[in-house]
Chain A
Amino acid sequence: MLARHAGKITGIAAALSPVGGLTGCAGMQSALDPAGHEAQELYLLFLGMCAGGAVVFISVVSLLIYAVHHQRRVHSDRVVARLILWGTVTTVAVLTVLLTFSLALWPGLRPVQAEGQPAIEITVTGHQFWWDVRYQTPDGQAVVVAANEVRLPVGERVFLTLESADMIHSFWIPALAGKMDMVPGRSTHLSLLATRPGVFRGPCAEYCGTSHALMAFSAVAMEPAAFTAWLAARRMPSPTAQAAGLQAFLSNGCGGCHTISGTEARGKIGPDLSHVGSRETIGAGILPNTVQSIARFIKEPDTIKPGVRMPSFRMLPDEEIAGIAQYLKGLQ
C-alpha cells in the first residue's frame, strides 16, 4: 500500500518542507523570507508551530483510522483508563512543548530599547493614505523629515515610535518584523534589526479608508556607512536645477501642503517632498518613481488613489505638470 502512494507522500512532504515549498514565498513583502532579527524569530515560530501542528494532526488522524478499523469489541475498563491517561499526557506534553517554545521566543519578538544603548530613532505617523517619517539624527540636533520610505542600517537596532493622525493604521514590514498598530492619540513602539541589505515593502495592515489597499511604503536596509552618509545628505537641501519647475510648483500653491527643504514650500499637510526624486516609489508605494508617474499623480490623484486628500490638477496644461514632475524627480 505504501508503494502505491509513494508519489503522493513525497509530494506532500516536499510541499511541507521549507526548501521545497516555501521558495515561492520569497520577495520584498514576505514574512517567509526574513531579513530582520524579529522576522527570523517569527519565521522560526511559524516553522515550529507548523511542525507541532503536523505532529498533532498526524497523531489524531492515525488514531481516527485506528478507531475506524478496530474490531467491534468493547474495551475493558483498564484499557479505557490507560487510553484516557496516555491521551491526556500526550496532549499536555505536546501543548507544553509548543507553549514553552513560543514563550521562549516572545522576548525576542518585542525587544524594547535597552538603557543607554545608542539606537536610531525614527517616528512614523500614519495618514490617510501615506506615511510621515522623521529621523532623529545621531547627534540629536536635527530631525530629518521624509515620507513613504523608511531607511535603516543593517546590524543596528532601530527604535520606532508609531503614531497616527487620523485612523488606526498598522505598520508592518513582513520581511523585518511583526506588525504594530498606529493608534490616534497615543504612541506605540516597535524595534527593528535588519540582518541583510535590501528593499522591502510595508503595507498598511489595518483597514483605514477607501485607499487602504493603496497605502504602502518601502523599507530600505542599507550598510551602516551608506546609511550615515544618506542621513547626512538628507539634512542638506537638494540642488535645484529645474528653476522653472520650482516656480510652477510654488505659484500653483503646492507649497501650501508640501515642504521642500531649501525652498519657500513649507506646507505641513501632505508628504514632505524634499529629495522625493530619490525615493523608491511615488504615491505611498503604488507607482514606480518616474517623471511620468509623478506627472500622472499630479494630474489625477483622485483616480489613482480614491479618497486621496490631494486635489487633482488636471486643469493645468500638460507642459506645466511635466515641468513640475521633472523638477520633483530631480530632487535627489
Chain B
Amino acid sequence: MMIRWKHVLLAAIAAPLLALLVAWSGVIYIGATGGHWSITNWFLHYVMRQSIATYAIPVEEPEIIDPGLLVPAAGHFQQGCAFCHGAPGEQRSATVMKMLPQPPDLTTVLSTWSDEELFRIVRNGVRYSGMPAWPTQERDDEVWGLVAFLRQMNGMDAETYQTLTQQPASGNQAAGSVAFERALSACAACHNLDGSGRSSVIPILAGQSETYLLNSLHAYADGSRASGYMQTAATLVDRALYAELAAYFAAQTEPAPPPVDAPNDVLELGRRIAEQGLPDKEVPACLSCHGSTRKAAYPSLDGQHRDYLVRQLVLFAEEHRGGTPFNHLMIRPAKGLSEPEREAVAAYFASRRR
C-alpha cells in the first residue's frame, strides 16, 4: 500500500486521540516506587542542568554578602530546607529518601554548582522536582544570604550548625500556652528571647511598639512585606498568637547595645537629617514620625541595628519593602537619601538611646 498524504493526516489526528485514550484509561504508572529509567533520569537532569546554567548567565553576584545574613539564613535553612536536604549532624528521614526525584544530599552536589546557579535554584526553585521557589521574588539579598550559608555549611561540623540554628527554650518565661512557648522559641532562634536580635541584619524587637510589631507580623503573613525568612516564620505560627508575641517582645527591655563605630561628622549628618530632614531633596525630618510623639503604628528606630536600618532604607527606595498600611509614607523620603546619607542616618539612630 502506498502511504499517501491522506494517511499522514489521519495519523496526525488519531495520534493525540490515542494518547488521550491511554491517559484516560489510567494505565500510566505515576507511583514513586522504582524510580525512573536510567535514560529518563539522565534526560531530566540534563534538561535541568542546562536550563539552570543558561538562566544563571545574567545573574551577577554581589561583591559583599553581609555576614549578618548567615544567622537568619541558617535558621531559614533549618525550618525550610533541612527536612529534605539534611544538615550537618542531621540524618534525613526514610520518607524523604523515597521522594522522586530524591532531594540531593547537599554535601555532595554543592560543589558542582556555581554561586550564580545556586542563586537561581534557591530563588526560582526547580519545576517538577518539589524544590520550591523563594517565598518572594523581591528579596535577592536574602537569597544571596542563603547561598553564602550553603557555602559555609559545606564542611560545617554539627556543633557549629546547632549553635547557629538552635531555638532557645523559653523556660516558661511568659507563662503562656504551650503553643505560644513553641512559637516564641522559634522567634528566638533569630531574635533572641530578649528580642535583641542575633545578628546585625535582624531587628531588635525589645521595647518596640506593640502595634507596629503586630501589624508587621500580619504584613509578613499577608505577603505585603516581602521576606523569605519572615514570611516563612510568620506563616508557621498561628495568627491567633501574633498579639501575644507582639506584646511579649514589646515588653522586653532592650540590652544596652555596643557603641556605634562611626566618625563624629557622620553622626552629625545623621542627626541633622533626623531632626531637620533634607527639604531640598524632599526628605522630611525622620523624627517627625519616629520621634517621641510618634503614633503606635510607627516604629521606634532608636538603638536599632544599623545594618538593618540601612537595608530597610534601600528596600524602601527600591519599592521592595512593603509592610504595614503606612509603608508608602517612607518611599519618597528613602528615595531622597544618597548612600552616605542612608549610612549616616542609620548610624545616628543606632547611637540613640531609647
- Given known pairs A253-B298, A256-B289, the reply for A311 and B329 (CB within 8 Å) is yes
The answer for the CA separation of A267 and B298 in the assembled complex, in Å, is 18
B305 to chain A, nearest CB (A): 23
B residues in contact with A266, CB < 8 Å: 285
Measured CB to CB, the closest approach of chain B to A310, in angstroms, equals 9
Q: A251 vs B331: C-alpha distance in the bound complex, in angstroms?
A: 19
B residues within 8 A CB of A251?
A: 293-295
Docked-complex contact A253 and B284, CB < 8 angstroms? yes
Within B281-307, the residues touching A (CB, 8 Å) are: 282-285, 288-289, 293-295, 298
Q: Which residues of B contact A269 (CB under 8 A)?
A: 277, 279, 282-284
The verdict on B328 contacting chain A, using a C-beta distance below 8 Å, is yes
Among A250, A255, A256, residue most surrounded by chain B Cβ atoms (within 10 Å): A256
B128 contacts A by Cβ under 8 Å: no
Residues of A within 8 A of B331 (CB): 311
Which residues of chain B have C-beta atoms less than 8 A from A265's C-beta?
Answer: 288
Partner-B contacts on A (CB < 8 A): 250-257, 264-269, 309, 311-312, 315
- Asked whether B294 lies within 8 Å of A257 as measured between CB atoms, the reply is no
- The binding surface of chain B is classed by DSSP as loop
Q: Is B332 at the interface (CB under 8 A from chain A)?
A: yes
Tell whether, in the assembled complex, residue A315 and residue B295 are in contact, meaning their CB atoms are under 8 Å apart. no
- Residues in A whose Cβ lies below 8 Å from that of B282: 269, 309
A-contacting residues, B312-340, CB 8 Å: 325-326, 328-329, 331-332
Cα distance A256–B284 when bound, in Å?
Answer: 5
With contacts A267-B288, A311-B329, A315-B325 taken as known, whether A253 is within 8 angstroms of B279 at the C-beta atoms is no
Extra contacts, 11 of them, besides A254-B288, A255-B288 (Cβ < 8 A), are: A251-B294, A252-B289, A253-B329, A267-B277, A269-B279, A269-B283, A309-B282, A309-B332, A311-B332, A312-B328, A315-B325
Task: Report Cα–Cα, A264/B298, bound state, in Å.
Answer: 18
- On chain A, the residues within 8 Å of B289 by CB distance are 252-253, 256
In the complex, chain A residues whose CB is within 8 Å of the CB of B326: 315
- Contacts of B12-39 to chain A: CB distance below 8 A: none
How far apart sit A311 and B330, CA to CA, in the bound complex (Å)?
9
Question: A267 CA to B293 CA in the complex, in Å?
Answer: 15
For B293, the chain A residues whose CB sits under 8 A away are: 250-251, 264
Could you say which residues of chain A place their CB within 8 Å of the CB of B328?
311-312
State the CA gap A276–B329 with chains docked (Å).
23
Q: List 21 A-B contacts (CB under 8 A).
A: A250-B293, A252-B289, A253-B288, A253-B289, A253-B294, A253-B329, A256-B288, A256-B289, A257-B284, A264-B293, A265-B288, A268-B277, A269-B277, A269-B279, A269-B282, A269-B283, A311-B329, A311-B331, A311-B332, A312-B328, A315-B325
Residue of B nearest to A264 (CB): B293
Residues of A within 8 A of B298 (CB): 253
Tell which of B289, B294, B298 has the most Cβ of chain A within 10 Å.
B289
A contact residues around B283 at 8 Å (CB): 269
B contact residues around A253 at 8 Å (CB): 284, 288-289, 294, 298, 329
Cα distance A216–B288 in the bound complex, in angstroms: 29
